[in-house]
């Protein structure tokens, strides 16, 4: 089995509202009832606050707890469930949520290691993929979706976002085909000019 790629999907600390929105970032996906969504969710992670971490710990008895992490008893899809982390990074305890595929026995430990490595970088930077994931996570559901029947067959099912095109008005574009200028325009100001991070 090939381990799921581990990826940061939101920059900053998600508040409770944003956390609950991101628990199901792919709710609008086509063929939701039939398709196996393991690959969509497994490996995604983002930072949350201590209050949100403690709130989630108190909802249900965890499936398991160990080494500063606990897993939710309810599974999102297949063997994928929420794992919450309390990690010491740079002398501060920070809190994170990630989706781990528990059929991969090392998935929670690999995610913990990846989070610590990513968040221990001396300079804040973002990869192109992280920029796109942040745009997807922070765009309201009314302004993002999936390419449907109006798109060429080979493009159907890919993620789309609505852009303001100036004199051209609004236009729908594939998320992974945004230009650097379009990405910059969709990001909040404090993230626009970060240097490019080297992808792990």
In the 8-state DSSP scheme, what is residue 187?
Answer: S
pLDDT computed for residue 183 by the predictor:
85
Is-contact 138 10, C-beta < 8 A? yes
- Rg, C-alpha atoms of the chain: 17
How many angstroms separate the CA atoms of 53 and 155, rounded?
38
Structure tokens at 170: 């609004």
Indicate the domain borders of the chain: 7-119, 128-192
pLDDT in tens, the chain (200 residues): 456 789 999 988 999 999 998 898 887 887 766 667 788 889 999 999 999 999 999 988 899 999 889 999 888 888 899 999 999 998 899 999 999 999 888 999 999 999 999 988 776 777 888 888 888 888 888 888 888 888 888 888 888 888 876 777 788 888 888 888 888 888 877 776 566 665 44
What is the pTM assigned to this prediction?
0.83
pLDDT computed for residue 196 by the predictor:
67
Torsion of CA 22, 26, 27, 30, to 10 degrees: 170
pLDDT computed for residue 195 by the predictor:
62
* Secondary-structure breakdown of the chain: helix, strand, coil percentages, each rounded to the nearest 5: 35, 30, 35
pLDDT computed for residue 1 by the predictor:
45
Of 10, 46, 4, 47, nearest to 132 by C-alpha is: 10
How many angstroms separate the CA atoms of 172 and 162, rounded?
5
Is-contact 117 101, C-beta < 8 A? no
pLDDT computed for residue 194 by the predictor:
63
Please report which residue ranges of 75-200 form alpha helices under DSSP H. 107-119, 128-138, 180-186, 189-192
pLDDT computed for residue 84 by the predictor:
96
């Amino acid at each position: 089995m090939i381990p799921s790629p581990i990826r940061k999907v939101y920059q900053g600390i998600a508040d409770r509202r944003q956390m609950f929105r991101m628990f199901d970032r792919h709710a609008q996906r086509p063929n939701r009832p039939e398709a196996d969504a393991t690959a969509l969710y497994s490996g995604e992670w983002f930072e949350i606050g201590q209050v949100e971490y403690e709130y989630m710990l108190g909802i249900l008895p965890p499936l398991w707890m160990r080494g500063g992490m606990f897993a939710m008893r309810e599974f999102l899809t297949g063997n994928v469930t929420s794992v919450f982390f309390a990690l010491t990074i740079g002398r501060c305890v920070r809190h994170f949520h990630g989706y781990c595929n528990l059929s991969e026995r090392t998935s929670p430990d690999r995610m913990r290691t990846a989070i610590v490595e990513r968040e221990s970088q001396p300079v804040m930077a973002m990869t192109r993929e992280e920029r796109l994931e942040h745009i997807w996570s922070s765009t309201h559901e009314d302004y993002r979706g999936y390419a449907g029947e109006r798109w060429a067959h080979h493009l159907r099912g890919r993620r789309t976002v609505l852009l303001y095109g100036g004199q051209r008005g609004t236009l729908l574009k594939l998320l992974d085909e945004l230009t650097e200028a379009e990405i910059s325009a969709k990001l909040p100001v404090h993230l626009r000019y970060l240097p490019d991070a080297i992808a792990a």
